[in-house]
């Protein structure tokens, strides 16, 4: 069961979240409108794997291995029921949280319900014998997950019919944080990212993407695992700071438009961007996946929207621009 919360936020709760947003330099004019802007999608570009026969049946999942950087890596792959080897499909790569697995993330996220090829790679065991991703202080030392991601994309695009202009990254917690690194370093391969409850550790390296990258960020204001306001002792910036940095990289206007959905969701949409930046703040939301059950993480889980549906819509609206 989800943790209980008031049906309608109290005046104090609304004041608190408004203060958080104001402190981040965000406007607070709310209105009931859709979460995402509409964006026209360009035509598709097919990968080398189009026309290649595969033993995996459409609508099924299977586990695979891939050697990268001298390590045998693993991932789970789900093909949509509509998969056609002659028609280019979206490819979504999903990164699990620390100590979790791709299969576990598939189970609660519902991302395999989308009409896309969905890959769920597994991280390498790091500190405390927990699988994690590059960029976090507890990740396995010397493991290059950016290279692994490049190798994984090469393999999938050679074996399946992928729209190379519609390759995306999402994930939760440590995995969500890693999508931020991918946007910085592999902007030529990922059309957009959508981190949920992201742990955006400060690496000390400059983020300089080769192109503006669309970003959809989802985070609960009541997250106690990765605090919304950041954690200086762990080198975690506030979520607002991380989002605002992307709005600068993507050349957006400084003040976003703020809209409200239901009684617990505020959406901050930056305008005038070269690539869209959208932040969804769940009032009192925990370290959880919106629309799921309590298995996705501790704290309140909003049912106002389904994260996989919102992410799917954002990805579909944002193909690679040339």
pLDDT in tens, 290-306: 999 999 999 999 999 99
192-196 and 117-121 beta bridge pairing: unpaired
Q: What is the pTM of this model?
A: 0.89
Residues 6+ apart with CB under 8 A from 207: 180, 183, 184, 245, 249
CA pair distance 181, 203, nearest whole angstrom = 9
Number of C-beta neighbours around residue 8 at 10 A: 11
Question: Tell me, what's the pLDDT at 25?
Answer: 44
Answer yes or no: are the C-beta atoms of 160 and 54 closer than 8 Å.
Answer: yes
* CA–CA dist 58, 115 (Å, integer): 11
pLDDT of residue 44: 59
**Strand 265-269 to 277-282 pairing:** antiparallel
Q: So what's the pLDDT on residue 40?
A: 46
pLDDT at res. 6: 42
What is the predicted pLDDT for the residue at 186?
A: 98
Which is nearest to 310 in space by CA: 290, 292, 295, 281? Answer: 290
pLDDT of residue 205: 78
Given a cut of 70, the residues of the chain with pLDDT beneath it are 1-44, 322
Which pLDDT belongs to residue 162? Answer: 98
In the CATH hierarchy, which fold is given to the domain comprising 11-317? Answer: Rossmann fold (3.40.50)
């Amino acid at each position: 069961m989800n943790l209980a919360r008031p049906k309608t936020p109290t005046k104090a709760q609304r004041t608190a979240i408004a203060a958080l947003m104001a402190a981040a330099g965000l406007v607070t004019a709310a209105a009931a409108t859709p979460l995402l802007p509409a964006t026209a999608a360009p035509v598709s570009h097919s990968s080398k794997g189009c026309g290649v026969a595969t033993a995996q049946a459409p609508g099924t999942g299977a586990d695979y291995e891939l050697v990268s950087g001298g390590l045998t890596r693993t991932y789970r792959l789900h093909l949509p029921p509509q998969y056609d080897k002659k028609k280019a499909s979206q490819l979504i790569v999903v990164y699990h949280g620390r100590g979790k697995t791709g299969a576990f993330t598939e189970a609660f996220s519902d991302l395999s319900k989308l009409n896309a090829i969905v890959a769920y790679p597994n991280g390498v065991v790091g500190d405390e014998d927990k699988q994690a991703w590059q960029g976090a202080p507890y990740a396995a030392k010397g493991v290059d997950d950016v290279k692994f991601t490049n190798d994984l994309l090469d393999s999938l695009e050679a074996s399946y019919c992928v729209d190379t202009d519609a390759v995306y990254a999402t994930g939760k917690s440590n995995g969500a944080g890693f999508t931020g690194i991918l946007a910085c370093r592999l902007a030529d391969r990922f059309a957009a990212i959508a981190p949920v409850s992201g742990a955006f550790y400060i690496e000390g390296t400059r983020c300089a993407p080769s192109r503006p990258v669309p970003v959809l960020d989802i985070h609960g204001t009541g997250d106690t695992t990765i605090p919304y306001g950041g954690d200086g002792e762990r080198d975690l910036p506030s979520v607002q700071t991380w989002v605002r940095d992307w709005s600068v990289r993507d050349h957006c206007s400084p003040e976003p438009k703020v809209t409200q959905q239901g009684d617990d969701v505020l959406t901050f949409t930056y305008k005038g961007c070269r690539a869209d930046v959208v932040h969804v703040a769940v009032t009192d939301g925990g370290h959880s996946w919106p629309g799921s059950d309590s298995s996705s993480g501790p704290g309140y889980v909003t049912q106002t929207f389904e994260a996989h549906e919102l992410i799917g819509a954002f990805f579909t609206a944002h193909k690679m621009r040339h």
